[in-house]
């Protein structure tokens, strides 16, 4: 099969491609060709036995989507997006990439002709939900995003459903939890501290906690995110009916529970590296975020995430730190 | 004040303008100027004391929205749409008018500059909802449209919320029930029979009922629709918070209850003009439509509809038939 990954240079894209390279197949179908695209040049995954066509461009540019699907990929994994903070800071750029880019891609598929009907896996986000919430956000809860990013993702979901219903492609949208523990260096995203307070202490460095320990949030590991993509790429989509967008499973826990898990897994010398420096701005932003979901449909359809934060930490130590940490 | 009505030649647009002409003001502010737009040339309402600038064009055409708002209307009532059946039959036209046209309008307002921030009243539809439903659709139920029209309206709602949140305009979206009794001649819309079985017998003509009498649906009169628009144009929108789109109140009743009301209001000789001719296609379409809603927010915010189908029939006789009918 031929796959196209948009957003292939991002963290989730790279991990998905590493998994594909390791497996050599997706759902039993051998991968013979991968088109990897991002705004910066993506790298072919190490050990890939399939040909990789790596491209860097602005995918919302006129005609670009048509060029990207010219090889008629069987599976399109659409991870490309301007992230939340940037889409809020730059209104036009967010709409151009996240809405127009997504629509151009869907239009290119529709207009390709010749019976072309690929599977499209679209990553949405819990940012489609906006407070006030119920304690657990149910599958039938309405989408009232409080950011332009969340708005653009919700529109992408609606388009994906309509294009799928029309038979232009076979689409599934998956709303990812916050990915934790995010590898790499601390960034300035308001959500960064959820990962920073685990990753940095495990690396022997101090981390800042800007919110109180009773803040509750919704997490899944990078490994689970790749698992969601794989399952979305291979499952029988007829089970979805007309409702093509699903909240993914995750783990709801408080920051205090994150820290307790870190102490169980790595000991008190590690958790002592967390510095509490309350930041009213970040507290305010985080207050509007989903805390817990009840993703019954996705669970019934076979999507799986971690069941404890201890497990999320152990996945990070195994996948990113070769099994060891700075005790 | 200066108002702009898009879709001014349609039934709801004409009735809204007649009401504005009769009142001479909107919420106590004298109307001095009205820009009326539609794809066919709209007419100025009889008795208007304000200047009417009537225009016909394709409002989704590049630059057209900017021209339409060049006079900086204080209130924009956006009723323009390709209707459900046509948007389903002509995919590209539906998206071009209902999505691109709406977005162009919103963009024109955003880019007008100089602190321009009009009120925008956008008519959405219960077509944003798609089966399976709960017996009553609550305000927090998710939008899973089963038509391209419903998808386009749901996207319009999301854009309206985001543009309002950003402060580009002060928007409100109102999801209209099926408007009944619709004046005019029978049309081929699948929903046409809900009005036909009342309007035609009252005019002394026979009407066809293609569904069984236990079919339940959600109705409001044209007079109520105008009342919704007036209230949306004048109410304090700060009460909406970030959730700018509301299901309007209506009346849920079965076809059997419609006919019983007609018999109470007009007698058995009138209801005898209804011919039962079951049509499996129409039965199938209607099965996917909302039957009942629980629009608590709109009611709490002061929106009002009829409380019985008898009242809906009496409104039709008063407003369309000068108080009499063919007994």
Does some domain include residue A302? no
Across the interface, whether the CB atoms of A162 and B145 are under 8 A apart is answered yes
Residue of B140, B148, B162 with shortest CB distance to A162? B148
Residue with tokens 């790279």: A14
Question: Which strands make up the sheet holding A2-6, listed edge to edge?
Answer: A51-56, A33-38, A2-6, A75-78, A119-125, A170-176, A245-247
CATH number at residue A159: 3.40.50.720
Q: Closest Cα to residue A26, out of A175, A190, A229? A: A229
Whether the link from the prior residue into A181 is cis, omega within 30° of 0, is yes
pLDDT band at A287; cut points 50, 70, 90:
confident
A149 given a catalytic annotation: yes
Q: Say how far apart CA B323 and CA B327 lie, in whole Å.
A: 12
Interface test with B, best of A106, A155, A157, A164 (most B CBs within 10 A): A155
Domain of A23, in residue numbers = 2-177+221-247
pLDDT value of position B187: 72
Rg of chain B in Å (alpha carbons): 19
Does some domain include residue B71? yes
Contacts of A242 in chain B (CB under 8 A): 130, 144, 146
Q: Is B296 helix (H, G, I), strand (E, B) or coil?
A: helix
pLDDT value of position A286: 87
User: How many Å separate Cα A7 from the centre of its chain?
Assistant: 11
Across the interface, whether the CB atoms of B158 and A155 are under 8 A apart is answered yes
Q: Look at chain A and report how many structural domains it folds into.
A: 1
Closest Cα in chain A, distance from residue B249 (Å): 18
Supply φ then ψ for residue B280, to 5 degrees: -60, -35
Taking only the tens place, the pLDDT of each residue in A90-127 is 999 999 999 999 999 999 999 999 999 999 999 999 99
Does some domain include residue B52? yes
Across the interface, whether the CB atoms of B158 and A159 are under 8 A apart is answered no
Residue with tokens 């958790």: A271
pLDDT band at A164; cut points 50, 70, 90:
very high
**Position A6 pLDDT exceeds 90:** yes
Quote the mean pLDDT of chain B.
96
Across the interface, whether the CB atoms of A161 and B145 are under 8 A apart is answered yes
- Strands A75-78, A2-6: pairing is parallel
The residue with greater pLDDT, A283 or A97, is A97
Q: Say how far apart CA B200 and CA B222 lie, in whole Å.
A: 17
The structure's pTM equals 0.97
Burial of A210 (0-12, 13-18, 19+ CB in 10 A): buried
Q: Closest Cα to residue A50, out of A28, A83, A22, A69? A: A22
Tokens of B294: 């629980």
Q: Say how far apart CA A67 and CA A71 lie, in whole Å.
A: 8
Q: Is B286 helix (H, G, I), strand (E, B) or coil?
A: helix
Per-residue H/E/C for chain A = CEEEEECCCCHHHHHHHHHHHHHCEECCEECCEEEEEECCCCCCCCCCCCEEEEEECCCCCCCHHHHHCCCCCCEEEECCCCCHHHHHHCHHHHHHHHHHHHHHHHHHHHHHCCCCCCEEEEEEEHHHCCCCCCCCEECCECCCCCCHHHHHHHHHHHHHHHHHHCCCCEEEEEEECEECCCCCCCCCCCCHHHHHHHHHHHCCCCEEECCCCCCEEEEECHHHHHHHHHHHHHCCHHHHCCCCEEECCCEEEEHHHHHHHHHHHHCHHHHCCEEECCCHHHHHHHHCCCCCEECHHHHHCCCCCCCCHHHHHHHHHHHHCCCCCCC
Does some domain include residue B162? yes
Q: Closest Cα to residue A69, out of A37, A24, A99, A29? A: A37
Longest dimension (CA), chain B: 62
B241: Cβ contacts below 8 Å, ≥ 6 apart? none
Tokens of B132: 């399976």
Taking only the tens place, the pLDDT of each residue in A24-73 is 999 999 999 999 999 999 999 999 999 999 999 999 999 999 999 999 99
Does some domain include residue A84? yes
Closest Cα in chain B, distance from residue A71 (Å): 25
pLDDT band at A288; cut points 50, 70, 90:
confident
Across the interface, whether the CB atoms of A151 and B162 are under 8 A apart is answered yes
**Position A187 pLDDT exceeds 80:** no
B187: Cβ contacts below 8 Å, ≥ 6 apart? none
Q: Is B99:B146 a contact under the CB 8 Å cutoff?
A: no
Contacts of B158 in chain A (CB under 8 A): 143, 145, 151, 154-155, 158
Q: Say how far apart CA B27 and CA B8 lie, in whole Å.
A: 20
**Position A275 pLDDT exceeds 90:** yes
A221: Cβ contacts below 8 Å, ≥ 6 apart? A179, A180, A181, A305, A306, A311, A312, A315, A316, A319
Closest Cα in chain B, distance from residue A104 (Å): 13
pLDDT value of position A293: 98
The CB density around residue B213, as the number of other CB atoms within 10 Å, is 14
Does some domain include residue A325? no
A89 to chain B: nearest residue by CA? B166
Across the interface, whether the CB atoms of A154 and B158 are under 8 A apart is answered yes
Q: What is the dihedral of CA B74, B244, A216, A309, to 10 degrees?
A: -110
Count how many pairs of residues, chain A against chain B, have C-beta atoms within 8 Å.
54
Mean pLDDT by 10 residues, chain B (327 residues): 97 97 97 98 97 97 97 98 92 98 98 97 96 94 96 98 98 97 84 96 97 97 98 97 97 98 98 96 88 98 98 98 95
pLDDT value of position A284: 86
Which residues of chain A are at the B interface, by a Cβ-Cβ cutoff of 8 Å?
Answer: 91, 130, 139-146, 148, 151, 154-155, 158-159, 161-162, 165-166, 242-243
Across the interface, whether the CB atoms of B148 and A142 are under 8 A apart is answered no
Across the interface, whether the CB atoms of A145 and B161 are under 8 A apart is answered yes
Residue of B144, B151, B243 with shortest CB distance to A144? B243
Does some domain include residue B73? yes
Q: Say how far apart CA B228 and CA A176 lie, in whole Å.
A: 38
Output b/e per residue, B95-120; b: 16+ Cβ within 10 A.
bbbbbbbbbbbbbbbbebeeebebbb
Q: Is B35:B51 a contact under the CB 8 Å cutoff?
A: no
Closest Cα in chain A, distance from residue B211 (Å): 24
Q: Say how far apart CA B325 and CA B327 lie, in whole Å.
A: 6
Tokens of A271: 């958790």
Closest Cα in chain A, distance from residue B307 (Å): 27
Whether the link from the prior residue into A113 is cis, omega within 30° of 0, is no
Q: Say how far apart CA B292 and CA B302 lie, in whole Å.
A: 19
Q: How far is CA A4 from CA A16, A37, A58, B29, B184, in A?
A: 12, 8, 15, 57, 53
A130 to chain B: nearest residue by CA? B242
**Position A18 pLDDT exceeds 80:** yes
pLDDT value of position A238: 95
Quote the mean pLDDT of chain A.
96
Q: Is B38:B19 a contact under the CB 8 Å cutoff?
A: no
Q: Which of A95, A116, A149, A163 is catalytic?
A: A149
Contacts of A91 in chain B (CB under 8 A): 166
Longest dimension (CA), chain A: 62
Across the interface, whether the CB atoms of B130 and A242 are under 8 A apart is answered yes
CA atoms within 13 A of residue A61's CA, in its CB half-sphere: 9
- Strands B29-30, B25-26: pairing is antiparallel
B244 to chain A: nearest residue by CA? A144
pLDDT band at A185; cut points 50, 70, 90:
confident
Does some domain include residue A124? yes
What percentage of chain A carries pLDDT values higher than 90? 93
């Amino acid at each position: 099969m031929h796959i196209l990954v948009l957003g292939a240079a991002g963290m989730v894209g790279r991990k998905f491609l590493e998994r594909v390279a390791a497996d050599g197949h997706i759902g039993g179908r051998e991968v013979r060709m991968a088109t990897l695209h991002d705004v910066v040049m993506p790298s072919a995954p190490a050990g890939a036995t399939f040909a990789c066509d790596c491209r860097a461009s602005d995918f919302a540019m006129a005609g670009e989507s048509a060029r990207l699907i010219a090889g008629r990929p069987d599976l399109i994994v659409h991870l490309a997006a301007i992230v939340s903070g940037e889409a809020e800071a730059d209104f036009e750029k967010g709409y151009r990439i996240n809405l127009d880019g997504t629509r151009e891609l869907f239009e290119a598929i529709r207009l390709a002709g010749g019976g072309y009907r690929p599977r499209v896996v679209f990553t949405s986000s819990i940012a489609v939900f906006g407070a006030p919430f119920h304690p657990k956000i149910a599958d039938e809860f309405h989408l009232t995003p409080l950011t332009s990013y969340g708005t653009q993702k919700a529109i992408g979901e609606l388009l994906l459903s309509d294009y799928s219903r029309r038979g232009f492609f076979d689409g599934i949208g998956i709303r990812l939890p916050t990915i934790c523990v995010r590898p790499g260096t601390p960034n300035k995203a308001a959500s960064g501290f959820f990962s920073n307070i685990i990753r940095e202490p495990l690396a022997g460095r101090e981390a800042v906690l800007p919110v109180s320990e009773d803040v509750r949030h919704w997490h899944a590991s990078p490994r689970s995110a790749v698992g969601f993509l794989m399952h979305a790429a291979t499952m029988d989509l007829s089970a979805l009916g007309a409702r093509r967008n699903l909240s993914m499973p995750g783990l709801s826990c408080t920051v205090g529970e994150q820290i307790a898990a870190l102490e169980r897994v790595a000991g008190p010398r590690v958790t002592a590296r967390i510095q509490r420096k309350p930041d009213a701005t970040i507290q305010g932003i985080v207050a509007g975020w989903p805390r817990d979901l009840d993703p019954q449909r996705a669970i019934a359809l076979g999507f799986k995430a971690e069941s404890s934060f201890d497990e999320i930490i152990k996945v990070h130590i195994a996948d990113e730190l070769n099994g060891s940490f700075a005790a």
